Amino acid sequence: MKYDFAVIGAGPAGYVAAKKAAGAGLKTLLVEKKKLGGVCLNEGCVPSKTLLQAAKTYHHAKHGSVFGVSVEGLTFDFSKAHSHKNGVMNKMRDGIAGLMKKYKIDVIDGAAVLKPNRKIEVNGEEHEADNILICTGSSPAVPPIPGIDQEHVVDSTGILNRETLPNRLIVVGGGVIGCEFACMYASVDVPVTVLEAMPEICPNLDVEVAATLRKELAKKGVDFQLGCKVEEIGSSQVKYHDGTESKEIEGDLVLVATGRRPNVTNIGLEELGLEFSPRGIKVDERGATNLPGVWAAGDVTGQAWLAHAASRMGEVIVNNITGRSDQMRYDAMPAVVYTSPEVAVVGLTKEEAEERGIKTRSGRIPMAINARYIAENPDEAGLCKVVLEDGTNRLLGVHMVGGACSEMIFGATAMIEAELREEEIEEIVFPHPTTSEIVKDVFMAVR
C-alpha cells in the first residue's frame, strides 16, 4: 500500500510523529514489532518511575516521625507495586492505541525492513511511502565482563520483571539508570553497592550536583565505589579493581547499567546506503538522513537519549515535511534523574559554556533557604545553580538537585528557549510559598 508517511517504531518519537502527521492530513502507517509505547513505556521510564514512587512512599512512611507520623507494622509488598506498575503500563498502551484509531493511522505488528525507493517490508508484504521515519530505539549495552550471562545478572529491562527483592543488589554503572534503581532498592531497605568506573556518578551532570546526589543516596544506604573496574561476575559475588587492588563484594542480584546502544541492525540500513554507525543514524538538526525522504528520531540517532527529546524530534520532522521550518535545539533540552532527591537540569554548565568560548557568571544557593522546601524536605540537602552569559545576562543553564525539581525544570527550559535575561526573569511573579521560587531567588547569588 502507498502512504504519505511511514513510521518504524512506536515509541515516543514514533507515535507522536504518527499522530502529528495524520492530524496534518497525511495517510500514515505505524509499524511496531513489540508493543506500542516503545522502550519508555514498556521497559524504561514509565515502569521504573512507577516503582520508584512506590519505594518513595514506603521510605516517607518509615521516616515520617519529623512530621508527627508514626507507622507500626510497616511492610513493602513488591508484588503489589509490580501490579500497579503493570496497570499503569496497560492503561497508557490502551491510550496510545486509542489515539492511533482516532487519527485513522494504520498500525501493523511486525518487524520492518527498509527497501530501496522508500519501501518497507513487514510480514512479507511491501509498503511504500513518500517519507519514512526510522525510530527503532535502543537496547541495553552489554559490556564484555566474564560471567555477565548468568541468570542473576540483569539489565534495566530484566530488573523490571523481577517481583521479589534481593538480599543485596550490586549495580554496575553509576549513571542515571544505575542511580535510579539504586535509590529504589535502597529506599525499601535492600543493601545496594554501586560500582562506577568514573571518579564521580552521573558524569554528564554538573559536578557539584552529582556530588550532592551521591551524598544524599548514601544517606539511604547506597554504597558507592568510584574509580573501579569490574573484572568478573561470579555466582554470588562481583570481583572489581579499585585502582589499587582487586576486591570482591557479595550480592545475589547484579544490575548491569552501563548505558544503551542504538538499534541499527537487521532493518536494512546497509543495503540502502544510509549513513550510520554503532553510535546511531546520522541526522541533521531537522532529523534528515543522507537519503531524501528518510528521517530518523529518538535513541536510534544516538542523540539526547530522552523520551521527550525523541518526541520533539518527531515533531520537528513532521513540521519540516508539512512545510514548517523547524529544528532541534539541544541546549534547551531538560533532563531529569528521578532519584530521591531528584535532579533536574537544562542548558549548559559553566564548564560547557566556557569550552565554547562563552564568558559566564554563575551563582548557587541551597534549597534550604526556601520555606516550602524545608517544610517538605527537612533532612535533605539540595541546591540550585544558574549560569549566565557575562555581559548580556542571558540565561544559559539551570542545574538543580532536591525535592521534586522535575516539576519545575520546564519553567527554566522556557526561559532558556526564550533567551531571557536576568532582568526579564526578575519581572516574573512566582507563587509563594512554592519551591519554584528558588529559580528566581538564585539570581541573588549571581548579583
Residue numbers annotated as active site? 432
For residue 287, which amino acid is it? G
Contact 3, 29 (CB under 8 A): yes
**380 three-class SS:** coil
Contact 41, 64 (CB under 8 A): no
| Separation of alpha carbons 300 and 424, rounded Å | 38
| Separation of alpha carbons 348 and 435, rounded Å | 22
Contact 387, 349 (CB under 8 A): yes
Buried b (16+ CB within 10 A) or exposed e, 288-297: bbebeebbbb
Q: Retrieve residue 331's grid coordinates.
A: 541546549
**Side-chain half-sphere of 50: how many Cα atoms within 13 Å?**
23
Degrees to nearest 5, angle at CA 229 with 228 and 234: 120
Handedness of CA 400, 409, 307, 276 (dihedral sign): negative
Query: Of how many residues is the chain composed?
Result: 447
User: Looking at residue 258, what DSSP letter applies?
Assistant: -
Buried b (16+ CB within 10 A) or exposed e, 221-231: ebebbbebebe
DSSP 162-176: --S--SSEEEE--SH
| Separation of alpha carbons 313 and 413, rounded Å | 16
| Separation of alpha carbons 38 and 352, rounded Å | 32
- Residue 83 makes CB contacts below 8 A (sequence gap 6+) with none
**Side-chain half-sphere of 328: how many Cα atoms within 13 Å?**
24
| Separation of alpha carbons 178 and 146, rounded Å | 20
Contact 128, 3 (CB under 8 A): yes
Strands 343-347 and 360-366, by their bridges, are unpaired
Taking every pair of Cα atoms in the chain, the longest distance, rounded to a whole number of angstroms, is 68
Q: How many CB atoms lie within 10 A of CB 281?
A: 28
